[in-house]
């Protein structure tokens, strides 16, 4: 670890292989918490590169007992969090719309960290299991197009970094890494991020991680979701190249809503919003989900344009397909729980 730390202190970036070696070393009990803190701080001060972020993500993924390479084309639509918007669970709701539209979604998520209610909180309230095994996940992905992977269950080795991150007290590479560590091999991804300045950086990181196509978005008001409040900033990864553009609601025939219109509450409140949207209730929540699902379907390649993706997302909801994906996931969760008992 010392040699890598010295290189970072000299403001020299690590190669992909060097970062993978440093990350692997950091999981060793021989590496002290003070060394970890120095390493993370030095990375932050220098500024992380796509190779460094991808190297850490690859090692975290390899440490998971649920790492899988089943032969399906899967995506995720998990965001980094940290935007302070306190919105309802937009990407979680949109995940079921994506699945209902034919995309296979390995939904990776956690409990609330910076918001009132995380994806795990709302799904647990709805009856979705947080303790799926690798076999459970693979079954749901192949038979239901969607499964939920609870981050602490998937990445138990990450516990040793929690106190280090807390003691440092500043954002580190770990504030970006969560959506990149899905143990399912992903072909495509929609990634929301609270920092607008790193959209191309994360798009390049996704290329390093082998994504064939991806969208990285920072919404109006700096949300880590697509927002209908105004201008959204987007980086598109396609065939190894990154292009940037902006998108406003009127360009995709959706109304404008202030971000206050999509604020959420506790797990019970957000579960109700999720069910209302999947049941067809109209309003700001539905339109925001349609926007994000449209972005996801475009990122996945299921739709040729974002407008087309929104149209397909409407069909997913109005046909009942999206709700069916939730019901099958909760029914399977009950079955798994009864087998354990």
Residues of each annotated binding site: 79, 82-83, 87, 89-92, 107-115, 119, 165, 224-225
Statement: residue 123 has pLDDT above 80 = yes
Burial profile 45-79: b = 16 or more Cβ within 10 angstroms, e = fewer? ebebbbbbbbbbbbbbbebbebebeeeeebbbbbb
- pLDDT-derived band at 340 (thresholds 50, 70, 90) equals low
β-pair type (232-238, 213-218):
antiparallel
User: What is the mean predicted confidence (pLDDT) over 4-9?
Assistant: 95
Among 12-16, 112-116, 136-140, 270-274, the minimum mean pLDDT is found in 112-116
Residues of each annotated binding site for 5-phospho-alpha-D-ribose 1-diphosphate: 79, 82-83, 87, 89-92, 107-115, 119
Residues of each annotated binding site for Mg(2+): 91, 224-225
Which of 124, 131, 144 shows the shortest CA–CA distance to 66?
131
Residues of each annotated binding site for anthranilate: 79, 110, 165
User: What is the mean predicted confidence (pLDDT) over 136-145?
Assistant: 96
pLDDT of residue 341: 53
- pLDDT tens digits, 68-96: 878 899 999 989 988 888 899 999 999 99
**CA 276 centroid distance within chain:** 23
- pLDDT-derived band at 160 (thresholds 50, 70, 90) equals confident
- pLDDT-derived band at 177 (thresholds 50, 70, 90) equals very high
- pLDDT-derived band at 102 (thresholds 50, 70, 90) equals very high
- pLDDT tens digits, 216-231: 999 999 999 999 999 9
Q: Can you tell me the distance from the alpha carbon of 186 to that of 266, in angstroms, rounded to the nearest whole number?
A: 30
- pLDDT tens digits, 28-48: 888 999 999 999 999 999 999
- pLDDT tens digits, 299-339: 999 999 999 999 999 999 999 999 999 999 999 999 998 88
* Residue-averaged pLDDT of the chain: 94
User: What is the mean predicted confidence (pLDDT) over 152-179?
Assistant: 88
Among 11-15, 152-156, 246-250, the minimum mean pLDDT is found in 152-156
DSSP state letter for 260: G
């Amino acid at each position: 670890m010392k040699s890598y730390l010295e290189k970072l202190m000299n403001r020299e970036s690590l190669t992909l292989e060097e970062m993978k070696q440093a990350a692997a070393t950091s999981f060793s009990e021989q590496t002290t918490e003070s060394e970890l803190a120095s390493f993370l701080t030095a990375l932050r001060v220098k500024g992380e590169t796509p190779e460094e972020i991808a190297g850490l993500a690859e090692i975290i993924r390899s440490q998971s007992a649920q790492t899988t390479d089943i032969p399906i084309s899967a995506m995720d639509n998990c965001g980094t969090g940290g935007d302070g918007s306190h919105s309802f669970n937009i990407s979680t709701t949109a995940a079921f719309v994506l699945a209902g539209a034919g995309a296979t979604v390995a939904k990776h998520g956690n409990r609330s960290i910076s918001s009132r209610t995380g994806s795990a909180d709302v799904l647990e309230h709805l009856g979705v299991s947080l303790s799926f095994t690798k076999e459970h996940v693979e079954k749901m992905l192949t038979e239901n197009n969607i499964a939920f992977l609870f981050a602490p269950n998937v990445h138990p080795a990450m516990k040793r970094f929690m106190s280090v991150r807390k003691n440092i007290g500043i954002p580190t590479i770990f504030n970006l890494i969560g959506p990149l560590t899905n143990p399912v091999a992903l072909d495509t991804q929609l990634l929301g991020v609270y920092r607008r300045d790193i959209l191309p950086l994360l798009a390049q990181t996704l290329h390093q991680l082998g994504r064939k196509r991806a969208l990285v978005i920072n919404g109006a008001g700096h949300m880590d979701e697509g927002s209908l409040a105004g201008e959204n900033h987007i980086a598109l990864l396609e065939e190894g190249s990154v292009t940037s553009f902006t998108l406003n609601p009127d360009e995709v025939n959706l109304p404008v809503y202030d971000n206050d219109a999509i604020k959420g509450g506790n797990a019970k409140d957000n579960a109700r919003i999720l069910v209302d949207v999947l049941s067809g209730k109209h309003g700001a929540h539905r339109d925001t989900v349609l926007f994000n699902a449209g972005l996801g379907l475009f990122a996945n390649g299921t739709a040729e344009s974002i407008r087309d993706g929104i149209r397909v997302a409407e069909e997913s909801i109005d046909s009942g397909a999206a709700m069916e994906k939730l019901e099958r996931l909760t029914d399977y969760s009950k079955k798994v729980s009864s087998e354990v008992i």
